[in-house]
A and B are shown apart, each in its own frame.
Chain A
Amino acid sequence: MFSLNNNLELRRVTITSLLTCIYLPSIVTVISYKGLLYSVGNASSVYILVLIFVAELLKSFYLNSGNECQVKKKSRNRASDIMKSIVFLFGVVFCFFIAIILFGAPVLEQHDGTLLLSSLLTLLTVFPLIAHTGVESAMQLLFGVKTFSRDTIIAMLVNNALMTVCGAWLGAVVIPLDWNTPWQQWPIPCYLGAVGGYLLSNVLTVTKVTLLSASNKYPALNFFVNVINRLHISK
C-alpha cells in the first residue's frame, strides 16, 4: 500500500498516526482514571466526541498544510464547502444510526447511546476523509467511482475507517455473554471497539512505516511488512 516514493506524504502519514496513537490512548486513560469509562454511552460524554473532533480537525489541517493548490481552491468557496460537509456529515450520522439499529440495537430506547456511537463512527471514518479531500471526492470514494491506490494519505484514511467499523462490529460480540459486567451495557463494547479498531489501524501504520524504512537496511524485515500488508483490508 505504501511506498517510499513520496517522502513528504509518508512523513505526514507517520506523524498523524503517531499523534493518534498518543492522543486517543490518553483520552481513554484519563476517562478510565476518572472512572468515567463506562459512561461513554451517556449523553454526558459528548465532550469526548468534541475532543476527538478537534484532534481530527487539527490532524487534517496538518495533512493539508503543504497542499498549496488545494488551499487556493478551497479558499474560493469555503463557506459553502463547509456547509455541504456539515450536511453530509449529518447524513452519514443518520445512516450509521439507522444501520446500527438494523443490526440489533434497541429500536425504541437508548437512542442517546446509539446516536453517540454513530457520531463516533462518523468522526473516525468519514470525517477525516471529508476534511482531507472534500465532500465530492469523499462520496466518490464511498461509492467506488474513484480509486485511491496511488494516494498514500487517502489509503491510510480509508484503512482507518474500515478498521474502525470492524472494531465496532467485533465489539458487539461480547454483548450476549452472561457475565453481567458493567461494560457489556449497550453501546460501550461497540464504542470501545471502534476506538480500539481505529487505534490498532494507526499503530499498524506506524509500525509498517518504521519497518519499511528499516527494511532498507535489513531486508529480512520485509517478511513482517508483508504480514502487515495482509492485515490491511482496503484493496
Chain B
Amino acid sequence: MKMKEKWNFIIYLVWFSYLILSAVLMFGQGFLLSRKTLSDVSECVPLEKFGCDGHENSSIKLPCSDDDKIRRILSYSGSPIVCAPKKNKVALILVDALRYDFTEYDKNNASPLYYQNRLPVIRRTVDKWPNRARIFRFMADPPTTTLQRIKALVTGSLPTFVDMSSNFAAMEIQEDNVIDQIVNQGNKAVLLGDDTWARLMPSRWHRSHALYSFHTWDLDTVDNEVDSKIYDELKKTDWDLLVAHYLGVDHAGHRYGPNHPEMARKLKETNARIEKFIEALPQDVILYVIGDHGMTETDSQEWKSTDGDHGGESKAERTAALFAYYGLGFAGDESDRAIGREVQQTDLAPTVSAALGRPPPAPSLGNLLLPVLPNMPVTHTLLHLSNNLKQVTQYLVRYGEESQQISSDKLAQLINATRAQIDLATEVYTQPELRAYISDVRNLMDKVRGAFREVWVEFDSLAMLRALLLLLLAVFFNWIVTEGIPVEHIPNVFSSTFVPSGLIAMAVCISFCFTLDYFEMIDNLGHAIILSTGLVSGAMTCLLVITHWDGITQRWSEGRSQFYERFARTALFASAAILVSNSYIIEEGATLSYLALTVLGLLAWNVRTMKSLLLWAGFGFVMVLTRSYRGCREEQGDCWTSGEGISTGNASRAALVLALGSVAAVIAIARRHVGWRGYGVVIAGIFACSHWAVGWGSLGSPSRSRMLARGAWLVIVAMFALLWKKDGKGPTMPLVVGGLLLYLANTLVLGAAFAPTAGLALLSGFIALNVVPMLKTEGSTKFSLTTRCSSSMACLWALLASYHFYGTGHHATLGHVRWAAVFHAGDPNYTPLGTPISVALMFVYLFGMPLMFGATVPLLALWGRNGAGSLGPRTQLLAVFSLCLKFALCFAVRVFACALSATIHCRHLMIWGVFTPKLLFEVGSCTAALLGALIGATLTAWHVPSQVRSS
C-alpha cells in the first residue's frame, strides 16, 4: 500500500507556511508604508519678469532698483516664488560618515585617539577666517544609512523606513530635488564618487565618474579615483554644482571601527584634501564638506576592535559634520557662526538651491541656513526666506490635498502661520529686525518639520488588521488541529481529500481574484489574494475542527497534561507576550535562555535521575558559555558604556584556536556515527578550518582563504544534495547529517570569531535531544506519541532556536548587521548570481540557527533507542509531522505577538529603534524556521520506507 498521506503532510506544511508568510507580508505592506511622495516641482519666476509694482508681467514699465521691486513683491502676498538674483557655484564634498567629533581639534590632548585631532585644517581655517568658514553639527534624521541620507540631502525631506529595503537596489528618486532643480534650469552638475548618486538620479549629470560603492573592505579605490579627477574639475568652469562623494572613512569605520590606525590614515588624507580644496577653490565657489551620518561610538579594546557601523538613531550616528568655506565671506553674526551649532540635514537642500539661485525643492522641509550663504542685502535675504516659506506653504497645501495624515486643523493652523509669516516680511528693514524675523522663521519651520516627523509613517491600518486577523485564524485553528484532534485520527484526515480540496479551493480563490482584477473590480490584487486564500484556509481548517469536534472534546476532557507540558506552553506564550515590552526585547537573549533552561529543567525534574540532572547542568553550562558571545546593543547601557559593541569578526589568536578546536571536535566526534556521509562532513570541516587558518592575521593570504571557503561551500552543497540519496536506513542519519551541514554553513558565515557559538548551539541542542528520550511514559517503556510529540518539545526547540539568534552574537538592531558574511568567500557581486548568493549568505548568517533547529525538529521524535525510528513508517511520519507543525506554530505565535506589539506601539518612541527591527528579525527567524521544518519533514518523508509492511 502506498501512503497517500505522505506528501499531503508536506503539502499541508507548505500551505501553513504560505498562510503565515503571506499574512506577514500583508502586514509589512501596511505597516512599513512610506510617506506620500508628491511629484510636484518647485517653479520660480525670474526677477526680470516682475514689474515695479510687484506683479508679474506688469504693464507699468518704469525703471526701478531691485530692492524696491523685491519690497513690492514681498508686500503682495499672492506673488509666486521668485528666482533669487545672485548665483554662486557650489562644490559639495560628501565625506561619508564624517562624524562631528572627528573635526574637533584639541591641542591640549597629548595622546589623541586614532580619530581625534586628525582634521586640524578645519579648526585652523575657522579660527583664521571667522567670516569665511563655518563648522556645524549636521544632525541627520534616522535611518542613518547612506541611501536615505542622500535622498534627504537632495530633497530636503525626511526619508522613511521602508526606503531602507531598497538600499541594495537604489531606485530613481521620484520627487523634486536639488539636482533636478538646477539641471532643469540648464545648469550643469558633475558627479564624482559613490554610484548611489548615479542610481538615485540617473542621466542628470553633465559629467559623472561614479564608482561601485559596496566593496566595504576597500578603503582606497573610490577615494583615489575621486582625487584623480576632482582637482581638474575644480579648475573647470562649466559646472554649477560639483558633487564628490568620498567613502574611505565610512569603510574604515565599517571594517575597523573608528579607533583604528586605518581611520587615522583616512582622516589624515581627508585633511590634506580639504587643505588643497581651499587652496584651489575659485572665488565664486562655495565649498561644503559634509558628513551624511556618523558612526557608532566605540572604544577599542584588546580583543575587540569594535565597529563603526551606522543605520540606527543613536546620537553618535546622527551627528555628522558640516564645514563650509567661501572666499568672499558668509553672512551671519557671532551667534550664527558659533562653532558646533546644531543644524538639520534637511536644511542643506534649500540652502544649496538658494546659493545656486533656485527655489527650494518641492518636498523640502528645510530651513535656509543663512550663515553658510554669501553675504547679501536685507531684501535678498527676505526674498530667500519668503521663497522658502512659500514653498513650504505650497507643500503643506498639496500634502493636505493628497493625504489625511495630518489633521486638517493642524494643517490649516500651520498654513495660516506660514502665510502670516510671509506677510510679516514687509515690515523688516533693519538688521535687528531681520535677525528676529529669521529666528521666527526658523521656529516656524521647526514646528512644521516636527508635525510631519510625528506622523510620517502612514500606516495602512486596514491591511494591518486584516493581516493580524489572518495570522490569528491560521494560528488558532492549527493550534486546535495539533492540540485537539486525537493523534490517531490525523492519518485519516490526511489520507482523505482534505488537503487536495484545500488546494483546489485556494486555486479557485486565486483565479477568482484574477478575474475580478481583470474586470478592475478590486484595487489591490495581492491583498485580495492573500485575504481570500487566508479566509478560505481558515474556513477549511474550521470545518476540519467541526467534523472532529467529538474527538477534540474527548481528548480535552480526558484530563490535564503533564505539568512540564503546560509550563512549556506557558513559557512559549510568555516569550511571545513579553515582546510587547521594549525592555524585554532589549534583554531577550537572557529571557529566552532563562525560559529554555526552565523548560528543560522541568523535563529533567520529571525524569529525576542523576543523569538527567547532570545533562541539564551541562545544558545550562553551555548556555552560560554562549553568554560571553552575546552582542550588546546601545540601549543595554552597562555593556555598551564599557565598550563591548559587536566585534568586527576579526578574530584574535584565542578565538581562532577556539574556532578550529570546536569545528575539529564536532567533526571528530560526529564522523564515526554518521556512516559514509561522515567523509563529506570531515572534508567540509577541514576546508572551513583551513579557510580561517590561512586567512588569519596580517600574514594570511586572503585570496587563498577565499578559495578554501568556496571549497567548503561546494562540499556542503554537494553533501546536501547527497542527503537525498536513499540508503534504506531510515531518516535519522540524513537528518543528523543535515544538522551538521547546517552547522558548518553557520560556522562559515559567522566567521572565526563567532564560529564556536554555532558549536555551542549544536551542543545545547544535542543535550536537549538526549534528555527527551528519558521522559517517563505512562505504563510501558514503549514509544509514546503523546509524550514524544508533546508541545513541550516543540516549545523547547523553538525557544532554543530563538535564543541562539542571540547566542551567536546577533541583536535585533539594523545598525549592527555586519555584511562581512557576504564577502568571506569573495565578492559574490562579481558572479552572475551575485544578488541571490548575497541574500542567501546573509540569510544563513542571521537566521542560520532557526534554520538548523528547524531542520532537526524531526529528531525530537526519532532520536534515542525508544524513538519513533524503530516503528512503522506511518507512525514515524505522523510524529514528525505533528512536531514540525507545532514547531512552526511556535514561531507563528511569536511573529503574531511581534506584529501585534508593533501595531500597539506604532506611535511609540522606540518603534523604529526597537519594535520594528524586532518584527523584521522575527519574521526572518520565522521564515528560516518554517523553511527548516519543511526541509526536515521532507527529508523524513523521503527516507521513510514508503511500503507499509504487510503485517
Instruction: Name A residues whose Cβ lies closer than 8 Å to a Cβ of B.
Output: 98-99, 101-104, 107, 143-144, 169, 172, 176-178, 233
Q: Tell me whether A176 and B587 are in contact in the complex, defined as CB-CB below 8 angstroms, given that A101-B624, A233-B563 are known contacts.
A: yes
Q: Tell me whether A176 and B590 are in contact in the complex, defined as CB-CB below 8 angstroms, given that A107-B627, A144-B608 are known contacts.
A: yes
B570 CB, nearest partner CB in chain A, Å: 12
Residues in B with CB closer than 8 Å to A98 are 617
CB-based closest 10 A-B pairs: A102-B620, A176-B587, A178-B583, A177-B583, A144-B608, A176-B583, A104-B590, A104-B594, A176-B584, A143-B608
Residues in A with CB closer than 8 Å to B129 are none
- The A-contacting residues of B in range 580-632, CB under 8 angstroms, are 581-584, 586-587, 590-591, 593-594, 597-598, 608-609, 617, 620-621, 623-624, 627
Residues in A with CB closer than 8 Å to B623 are 102
A49 to B590, CA, bound (A): 29
A11 CB, nearest partner CB in chain B, Å: 31
A to B contact number (C-beta, < 8 Å): 39
Residues in A with CB closer than 8 Å to B594 are 103-104, 172
Query: What 19 additional pairs, Cβ within 8 angstroms, besides A107-B624, A176-B591, A177-B584?
Result: A98-B617, A101-B624, A102-B597, A102-B617, A102-B620, A103-B594, A103-B597, A103-B620, A104-B590, A104-B593, A104-B627, A107-B627, A143-B609, A176-B583, A176-B584, A176-B586, A176-B590, A177-B583, A233-B563
A233 to B566, CA, bound (A): 13
A177 to B621, CA, bound (A): 25
B560 CB, nearest partner CB in chain A, Å: 10
A104 to B597, CA, bound (A): 10
A143 to B590, CA, bound (A): 29
A172 to B586, CA, bound (A): 16
- The A-contacting residues of B in range 610-659, CB under 8 angstroms, are 617, 620-621, 623-624, 627, 635
A20 CB, nearest partner CB in chain B, Å: 25
The count of residues in chain B whose C-beta lies closer than 8 Å to any C-beta of chain A is 22
Residues in A with CB closer than 8 Å to B624 are 101-102, 107
Whose C-beta in chain A lies nearest to the C-beta of B618? A102
A159 to B117, CA, bound (A): 66
Residues in B with CB closer than 8 Å to A101 are 624
Residues in B with CB closer than 8 Å to A143 are 608-609
A99 to B623, CA, bound (A): 12
Q: Tell me whether A177 and B581 are in contact in the complex, defined as CB-CB below 8 angstroms, given that A102-B621, A104-B593 are known contacts.
A: yes
Q: Contact string, B677-709, partner A, CB cutoff 8 A, digits 1/0?
A: 000000000000000000000000000000000
Residues in B with CB closer than 8 Å to A144 are 608
Q: Contact string, B172-203, partner A, CB cutoff 8 A, digits 1/0?
A: 00000000000000000000000000000000
Whose C-beta in chain B lies nearest to the C-beta of A174? B583
A18 to B635, CA, bound (A): 46
Residues in A with CB closer than 8 Å to B598 are 103, 169
Q: Contact string, B492-523, partner A, CB cutoff 8 A, digits 1/0?
A: 00000000000000000000000000000000
Residues in A with CB closer than 8 Å to B563 are 233
A-B contacts, 17 of them at CB < 8 A, read A99-B617, A102-B597, A102-B617, A102-B623, A103-B594, A103-B598, A103-B620, A104-B593, A143-B608, A143-B609, A176-B586, A176-B590, A176-B591, A177-B584, A178-B582, A178-B586, A178-B635
Whose C-beta in chain A lies nearest to the C-beta of B587? A176
Residues in A with CB closer than 8 Å to B635 are 178
A103 to B621, CA, bound (A): 9
Whose C-beta in chain B lies nearest to the C-beta of A99? B620
A232 CB, nearest partner CB in chain B, Å: 12
A169 to B623, CA, bound (A): 18
A39 to B586, CA, bound (A): 27
A144 to B609, CA, bound (A): 9
A101 to B625, CA, bound (A): 11
A99 to B619, CA, bound (A): 11
Whose C-beta in chain A lies nearest to the C-beta of B605? A144
B433 CB, nearest partner CB in chain A, Å: 48
Residues in A with CB closer than 8 Å to B587 are 176
Residues in B with CB closer than 8 Å to A176 are 583-584, 586-587, 590-591
A143 to B609, CA, bound (A): 7
B396 CB, nearest partner CB in chain A, Å: 38
A187 CB, nearest partner CB in chain B, Å: 14
A144 to B593, CA, bound (A): 27
Residues in A with CB closer than 8 Å to B582 are 178
A144 to B621, CA, bound (A): 25
Whose C-beta in chain B lies nearest to the C-beta of A101? B624
A144 to B613, CA, bound (A): 13
Residues in A with CB closer than 8 Å to B609 are 143
Whose C-beta in chain B lies nearest to the C-beta of A179? B583
Whose C-beta in chain A lies nearest to the C-beta of B588? A176
Whose C-beta in chain B lies nearest to the C-beta of A143? B608
A233 to B563, CA, bound (A): 9
Whose C-beta in chain B lies nearest to the C-beta of A178? B583
Whose C-beta in chain B lies nearest to the C-beta of A102? B620
A98 to B591, CA, bound (A): 18
A177 to B578, CA, bound (A): 11
A100 CB, nearest partner CB in chain B, Å: 10
A138 to B396, CA, bound (A): 77
A98 to B32, CA, bound (A): 45
A169 to B609, CA, bound (A): 22
Whose C-beta in chain A lies nearest to the C-beta of B637? A178
B582 CB, nearest partner CB in chain A, Å: 7
Residues in A with CB closer than 8 Å to B597 are 102-103
A195 to B623, CA, bound (A): 28
A176 CB, nearest partner CB in chain B, Å: 4
B620 CB, nearest partner CB in chain A, Å: 3
A66 CB, nearest partner CB in chain B, Å: 32
A99 to B618, CA, bound (A): 11
A143 CB, nearest partner CB in chain B, Å: 6
A176 to B574, CA, bound (A): 14
A72 CB, nearest partner CB in chain B, Å: 32
B437 CB, nearest partner CB in chain A, Å: 44
